[in-house]
Chain A
Amino acid sequence: MSTQDKIKKLLAGLPGAVEMTPLELNDMRFSGRKTVITPAELKRIKNALTARK
């Protein structure tokens, strides 16, 4: 099975999901910071996101 077929199959099982464009991938930058994202850090991120809403 080719990679494109694998992607199509994957997208079929993920309603609403879309493939990212090269431009969108370029917007996903690596910060270079060495932050260990612990479960406690995840909770802080979640709380920050909730507060923003």
Chain B
Amino acid sequence: MAAPDYTILSDFLTILGVRHTDSYTNRSFRSMPFPTMFGLKKLLATYGVESVGLKLADSDMIDRLPTPFIAQTSRGMVIVTAVDADTVMYVTQSVEETATKGRFSAAMTGNVFVAFADDNACEPDYAVHRFTEIANIAKKWVLAALAVALLGYAIVSNGIYRHISTVLLTIIDIAGVYISTLLVMKSAHIKSRHADAVCSVVQAGGCDDILATPASKFFGIFGWSEVGLAYFGVSLGCLLMFPDHIDDLALCNLICLPFSFWSVWYQKFKAKSWCTLCLCVQSLLWLSFFCYLGGSWLRQAFHPGTGFFVLGACYVAVMLAINAIMPLIDRNNDYVNSR
């Protein structure tokens, strides 16, 4: 979801060919008490990389320096990877760029930072850190594999596959969980490339505009994104584990439908902005309705029993749990983040 983590230190070590792990390297860089070149020099020394800062009398002399080296401009540091007669290739914020030598040297302050790495240069405890990094990647794959296996087991053992409407409902609920998760992440100010990509389909910045309105919260207490995640999450769980209660799910879906009219009305006439993710949620609600209708599940829904109320309690309990977690994950919550 988030962009790959990087710092100038991890970029520099990669270009120097020094064995390192991004997680340890970036953590070390960010935990420097004083983020200066002197701190970077000390950090590089722990990797077995010696370095020196030089003040050049003439910035045009950069072609005489061994690459890579770090060059200072008034807007920040860049890593120069190659210099020839006319061009300078450099890396800025992990992005490779090429500029004419004249333009590059004119923008420099004249301060450069040159490193000398030998073949033995390596991150301290590299093997342990690398193992941890691989284990962390493996954890995500194991989680994904187990989720798919459990989903497959539930579909087969509970006979979800026997009716097209239940198969479609499973897919819709999974899509609902995904879209609601993106909305929750946006509400918690967690940057997500996927959320931004979906949001820009109808109107760039529309999701942020809508989520910033007071109407994005139910009585200012629960975000609608949290309600959506609870709704689709519990619906999916119930459908997979207790498919006998599909009539209760159908009734809950029916009760939620008027919300979609209000949401679209609000976006069009009040906020005058379109939130693509919110529209996706409304569409999924209606698609679910047509599946319940097509599968004739609504016919049995109008005589709710205890199961319906237990299901309702599950929705509320999960929604409250998500609501309680939100302040802990909100990136704009300075009070919690400072602790």
A residues with CB within 8 A of B: 3, 6-7, 10-11, 13-20, 22, 24-39, 41-43, 45-46, 48-50
Say which residue of A7, A13, A19 sits within 8 Å of B64 (CB atoms).
A13
Check B53 against A25 for contact (C-beta < 8 Å). Answer: yes
- Closest-by-CB residue of A relative to B54 is A17
Q: What is the minimal beta-carbon distance from B245 to any residue of chain A, in angstroms?
A: 49
Contacts of B58 in A (CB 8 A): 16
Check B75 against A39 for contact (C-beta < 8 Å). Answer: no
Contacts of A34 in B (CB 8 A): 93
Report the separation of the CA atoms of residues A45 and B65 in the bound assembly, to the nearest whole angstrom.
22
The count of A-to-B residue pairs whose CB atoms sit within 8 angstroms is 120
Q: Confirm or deny: B184 has a beta carbon within 8 angstroms of a beta carbon on chain A.
A: no
Report the separation of the CA atoms of residues A23 and B34 in the bound assembly, to the nearest whole angstrom.
12
Which of B103-111, B171-179, B303-311 lies at the interface?
A: B103-111
Check A14 against B103 for contact (C-beta < 8 Å). Answer: no
Report the separation of the CA atoms of residues A10 and B53 in the bound assembly, to the nearest whole angstrom.
12
Contacts of A22 in B (CB 8 A): 38
Q: Confirm or deny: B300 has a beta carbon within 8 angstroms of a beta carbon on chain A.
A: no
Report the separation of the CA atoms of residues A1 and B76 in the bound assembly, to the nearest whole angstrom.
32
Selected A-B contacts with CB under 8 Å, 13 pairs: A13-B64, A20-B53, A25-B41, A26-B34, A28-B113, A29-B37, A30-B8, A33-B76, A35-B92, A36-B93, A42-B99, A42-B104, A46-B107
Check B74 against A48 for contact (C-beta < 8 Å). Answer: yes
Check B56 against A17 for contact (C-beta < 8 Å). Answer: yes
Say which residue of B38, B56, B76 sits within 8 Å of A37 (CB atoms).
B76
